[in-house]
Amino acid sequence: MQVRALEWGVKQSFRNYVAMSGGTTAVGEGAEQAADGAFVFPAAAGDGLALDAGGAPSGRGAFEGEVRFEAHGGMLSVRLTGLEAEIGPQGGTLSVDDHGRRTVVAKLDLAAAQKDEDGGLTIPAALAMDGIQWLGDHYQMLTPLDPVRLRVG
């Protein structure tokens, strides 16, 4: 089954911090924010990320949309755009376009993934080494992030 969307909230405490500090979260270019706070990114045309009959994910998928977090007069500025998920035999990662450079921001724990009632998959995520700088040096490597949800259809 082809993955039609990826849902990811980045990190709930980070979203809360931006809001509590008087900052803004802007969503656009096809992304939407779900009621639970996660962001929904539709699969780009020709997406190659799929779940097999047993629910195991594999491939590489690009997702449309952009989310911008800003606070402290621009001193905190995080841009989530060009989201890609890559899943293979060695594991899975999420990467973003970070000012023209592909940056792996999260590692996916495929061993702990759980199949959803609708046939999708929820995968725990943790901050990758390059994700530390992407989120502004506020979290340590492997800090748990919001889970990634792969939606099929």
pLDDT digits (tens, 9 = 90+) for 23-61: 999 999 999 999 999 999 999 987 689 888 888 899 999
Q: Mean pLDDT across the stretch 129-141?
A: 91
Average pLDDT over residues 95-115: 95
Q: Residue 132 has which token pair?
A: 């530390």
The pLDDT score that the predictor gives to residue 47 is 64
The structural domains of the chain, with segments of one domain joined by +, span 3-69+76-152
Average pLDDT over residues 60-68: 97
Q: Are 41 and 6 in contact (CB under 8 A)?
A: yes
Distance between CA atoms of residues 138 and 46, nearest Å: 35
**Residue range 129-139: mean pLDDT, rounded:** 91
